Structure 1
Amino acid sequence: MTGSDAVPFCGLPPLPGDWAWNLDPLLLAILAGGLALGWRAGGNRPLFLAGWALLALALVSPLCSLAVALFSVRVGQHLILMLVAAPLLAMGLRPRTAAPAELAGSAAVFAVILWFWHLPAPYAWTFVSDGAWWAMHASLFASAVWLWHGAMRASRADAALLSGLATAAQMGALGAFLTFAPRPLFAPHALSTLPWGLTPLEDQQLGGLLMWVPGGTAFAALALFALSRALGAMPDRLKT
């Protein structure tokens, strides 16, 4: 669906107490098909199932509807995809060692996709085009899985450390940009936040804080994990 009068994929902005589950047949079919393919591919099936279940919950639960009304909820939905579902799914995939060049590429791709979809024009596009909505969520999730899988399976701990620090820094920068912007940036939420007791600017600031703190913390933790791997691989004589 496209056009200025298009209804967003998750429906019109709900009022308090008036949200609903998203049982779109195409979405349910894709989720079921992806689950079947991932299950047949092997790997750690319990972790894969946990990651896929969280992905499905984030997209079909009332979060989808609430994200039409509130930018902060859309950010929270994305964080569930990128920081919880993606690493679980990455650990559930068959292990494959990632070279430093691949890890650097995945971190760069993730950063570009994250910034692109949280800039005003591309973000607004997802409210008038179902294709843009699908592209946003598919690209954010896929790039996050690629990054997490590479960072946790990196052939060199220093590459994982650098990718974690760089990703924490760029997510923190995006969160700070959204938090300290002097005016609201996202036209789709110009009127939809008021029934929820937030001005558009307050809603944007809350979303920025969510991106800044949990997002930056998760990838900083990944960097610390990589650092512990690097220290653990050092000869005993270098640790003292």
Structure 2
Amino acid sequence: MSVAVSHVFEEWSLPVWLTLSLAFTGVIYLRGWLAIRKTRPEQFGELRLASFLGGLVVLWVAIGSPMDAFADTLLSVHMVEHLILMSVVPPLLLCGLPVVPLLRGLPIWATVRIVSPLIRLATVRRLLHWLMRPVVAWFAMNLTFLAWHIPRAYDFALEHENWHAVEHLCFLGTSLLFWYCIVLPWPAATHPRTWGILIFLVSADVINTLLSAFLAFCDRPAYRYYVTHPNTFGIDPLSDQVLGAVIMWVLGSFAFLIPAMVITVRMLSRTRTERV
């Protein structure tokens, strides 16, 4: 086992551009957070900063650290990686209320010459509003999730590094849209929660459960890549697949159902308060 672990670490190399991009994003957010904290200290406390920077760190761990190399060998680790990208990183980033700090943290020339003209474009504004609609965000995330887990697409991504990066971007981008509808980070327009938000979360868990169940009860390895490529850990591909499916099933369900329960409690409390 130690030899296998050493082999994976030897194969891993630091992704310089990813690391620098995430570090640069963190600096931009910190700069904007310090600026807006002067006028909104209660709204932008240390927890907001920790949440956003923590999200960047977790994102690097998922796709920049040796974990990504382990994911190329073990399906179970790959499922953990996907779970982090789709259900851990997006809520952390969004709970940092990133929109205004990132805009405030940019150099003035970038805001004036690039961001402002883009935001003023009616086409861009309509596209953003359309993408942030709950129905669009739900279908975007879940269809992306299912499409990339089709065996041919899954194997293709593992065999082509650039497409593997595209897969990660698809997971992260669509999941940010999905969780945006849950978190509604300021300055998003806030509105009273309806029971529809529970359908939004629970139905996403159903999709996760169906895929997890298929992988768990399938009587053969679903992904050819893990059969044809050497497994230095000596783990049976089918056993690894079952473990990955269980991880995705259990932890993925927690990611959807815990927020659903919290929102339910808040909605019931609000209903009781209104009756009183």
| Cα gap change, 1:49 to 1:127, in 2 (>3 Å) | same
Larger mean Cα displacement after TM superposition, 137-146 or 148-157: 148-157
Distance 1:105 1:150 in 2: 10
**Aligned-partner SS, 1:18:** helix
Tell me if structure 2 keeps the 8 A contact 1:55–1:85.
Answer: yes
Q: Which letter maps to 2:255? A: A
Number of residue equivalences: 224
- For 2:58, the aligned partner's letter is L
Pairing partner for 1:187 from 203, 224, 228: 224
* Equivalent residue number for residue 109 of structure 2: none
- Which of structure 1's runs of 4+ aligned residues deviate more than 6 A? none
Q: Distance in 1 between matches of 2:261 and 2:174?
A: 21
CA contact (8 A) 1:70 1:193 kept: no
The Cα offsets for residues 171-210 of structure 1, whole Å up to 9 and x where unpaired, read as 1111111111121111110044643232111111111111
Larger radius of gyration, structure 1 or 2?
2
How far does residue 159 in structure 1 lie from its aligned partner after superposition? 2.9
Contiguous gaps of at least 5 residues in structure 2: 34-43, 101-128, 185-189
> What is the aligned partner in structure 2 of residue 31 from structure 1?
22
Q: Deviations over 1:7-33 (max 9, x none)?
A: xxxxxxx93432224412232233234
- Match for residue 15 of structure 1? 4
**Do the aligned residues in 1 keep the contact of 2:76 with 2:243 (CA within 8 Å)?**
yes
1:124-157 Cα shifts (integer Å, max 9, x gaps): 1112322211111111112222212211236324
Residue 66 of structure 2 corresponds to: 62
Q: Are the counterparts in 1 of residues 205 and 253 from structure 2 also a CA contact under 8 Å?
A: yes
SS of match in other structure, 1:196: coil
Supply the distance in 2 between the matched residues of 1:61 and 1:22 (Cα, whole angstroms).
8
The structure with the greater share of residues assigned to helix is 2
> How high is the TM-score relative to the length of structure 2?
0.73
- CA drift at 1:94: 4.2
SS in 1 for 2:159: coil
CA drift of 1:104 comes to 2.5
Aligned to 1:74: 78
Of the three residues 110, 123, 129, the one matched with 2:160 is 129
Aligned mates of 2:181, 2:50 — CA distance in 1: 20
Change (3 A) 1:151 1:210: same
Q: 1 CA distance for matches of 2:174 and 2:95?
A: 15
- Structure 1 runs not aligned, ≥5 long: 1-13
* SS of residue in 2 equivalent to 1:69: coil
Q: Shift in Å at residue 95 of structure 1?
A: 7.5
Query: Any conservation in 2 of the 1:168–1:215 contact (CA below 8 Å)?
Result: yes
Provide the alpha-carbon RMSD of the alignment.
Answer: 2.6
Give 1:170's match in structure 2, choosing from 198, 207, 214: 207
Is the 8 Å Cα contact of residues 73 and 231 (structure 2) preserved in structure 1?
A: no
- In structure 2, the CA distance between the partners of 1:37 and 1:115, relative to structure 1 (3 Å rule), is farther
**Does residue 228 of the first structure (1) align with residue 265 of the second (2)?**
yes
What pairs with 1:38-187 in structure 2 (closer than 5 Å)? 38-40=29-31, 42=33, 44-94=48-98, 102-153=133-184, 155=191, 156-187=193-224
Distance, in Å, in 1 between the alignment partners of 2:78 and 2:274 is: 49
Q: Normalized against structure 1, the TM-score is what? A: 0.83
What is the percent sequence identity of the aligned residues?
26
